[in-house]
Structure 1
């Protein structure tokens, strides 16, 4: 397998310059693996200090909007991002099915499939009982199977059984895969629709989006010619730019914050 080619310093500088020159800039970012390193206990994930400082500065810059776009529920995203009541950072949870905007109440539609969601989640939990390292995450509009700590054989078996369950009981639900997670949801929004909604809301003419996983590719593919798409880490991607890890992205965001402030 060939080595991943990360963007050169000159390429990063070009991306920062392009974004910094926007009339209104939207910086929309995945959280896990992008701003925060991946961890074994998902609710212990926290943004790197350098990333937090950069986002705070960007959110305070003129004509600049910052948003976190995650598959996490809005409630969990608010917790792990340590959102303060007066935060200026927008949140899009559940892949864009839930929003929180500064100065407004949370925007989350009712779940018409709540009874089915609860039933399937309970049955999925029974299926993974006894499988070391596998567990079910309760989601606002579905559930996710986590296998980060399970061996490959057990993970594949659990995924196959839960795939069969959802295929039989909820064939119209959206299926997503990511790094050690298999997720199902009754809602079909994606990070592409989340970014589109945020862009329209604030009137951004340039979007910077960064992500590290399969579900982030939806948003990366939706970007226009003047936007900046960044892949964090390895894996196939349509992104024009690539950085090795969350620390490298935080450094880039810091440069963007300086440029946007005219420093």
Structure 2
């Protein structure tokens, strides 16, 4: 680890109550051609478990995945102590309470289904393009599509959403474009988690454009970590999931020493 990262970890490790919030895909788990096959690397899962067991330390996954899919890929059990923020914070799961209720909007859900079907029909059988149903919208995956088919699929989705739901939020990520009628972001998810658990400092790590809202929202007592390349608001960067796991392992050890 670099000296800057070590010093930053030592600083947050001394916090009274620490929230460690983590993106999942690309941060703890390698990106997969079939997204539902994603699983945390063993070393990443191990340090998450170590942090969860540390006193006055709360761990959360903050993901663009629907809550259902996030629970599946993170192998999240009903007895877990890990908080979840799915759909960029529009859905949540709290230890001891379970899924938190969300406001239902029949008209919005009907429009979601209509748009999802229309986009799927017009995209057709383009190889490597997949329309993923999401709780509050849908995503267009193009990881294994040709550049031509990927561009065509995005153009179709952009046109139909602009025509029928111009108020929806559009997000881009690694080989995915997402559309949603809910506008929560990972910044609001972090703020809600911070308040709920009474955190005096937050560590957030992510690898994608959608993580930058959260990274940019962090304060001077917090720590933002970018995994991989790309422009970032994070104060430190690591090169891979393995390097992040090593950093989180060091944080767990430092934290345990401070809590003794």
- TM-score, length basis structure 1: 0.95
SS in 2 for 1:118: helix
> Pairwise mapping of residues 224-263 of structure 1 onto structure 2 (< 5 A)?
224-262=219-257
Structure 2, unpaired ranges of 5+? none
C-alpha offsets along residues 126-155 of structure 1, whole Å, 9 cap, x if unaligned? 122221100100000000000000111111
Distance in 1 of aligned mates of 2:104 and 2:117: 17
Distance in 1 of aligned mates of 2:248 and 2:18: 13
Shift of 1:111: 3.7
Contact kept? 2:139, 2:176, Cα under 8 Å:
yes
Distance in 1 of aligned mates of 2:101 and 2:38: 23
What stretches of structure 1 move > 4 A for 4+ residues in a row? Answer: none
Distance in 1 of aligned mates of 2:221 and 2:208: 22
SS in 2 for 1:262: helix
Structure 1, unpaired ranges of 5+? 1-7
SS in 1 for 2:60: strand
- Corresponding pairs, count: 256
1:18 matched to 2:7? The reply is no
Distance in 2 of aligned mates of 1:177 and 1:111: 25
For 1:180, the equivalent position in structure 2 comes to 175
Task: Point out the more displaced range, 231-240 or 109-118.
Answer: 109-118
Task: Point out the more displaced range, 36-45 or 109-118.
Answer: 109-118
For 2:31, the equivalent position in structure 1 comes to 38
Picking from 195, 204, 207, the partner of 1:209 is 204
1:105 matched to 2:98? The reply is yes
> Pairwise mapping of residues 148-227 of structure 1 onto structure 2 (< 5 A)?
148-227=143-222
1:60 matched to 2:30? The reply is no
- TM-score, length basis structure 2: 0.96
For 1:143, the equivalent position in structure 2 comes to 138
Contact kept? 1:229, 1:241, Cα under 8 Å:
yes
Contact kept? 2:123, 2:156, Cα under 8 Å:
no
Contact kept? 1:144, 1:184, Cα under 8 Å:
yes
SS in 1 for 2:84: strand
SS in 1 for 2:183: coil
Contact kept? 1:128, 1:135, Cα under 8 Å:
no
Shift of 1:108: 3.7
Contact kept? 1:95, 1:194, Cα under 8 Å:
yes
Distance in 2 of aligned mates of 1:128 and 1:250: 39
Contact kept? 1:144, 1:183, Cα under 8 Å:
yes
For 1:4, the equivalent position in structure 2 comes to none
For 1:74, the equivalent position in structure 2 comes to 67
Contact kept? 1:74, 1:98, Cα under 8 Å:
yes
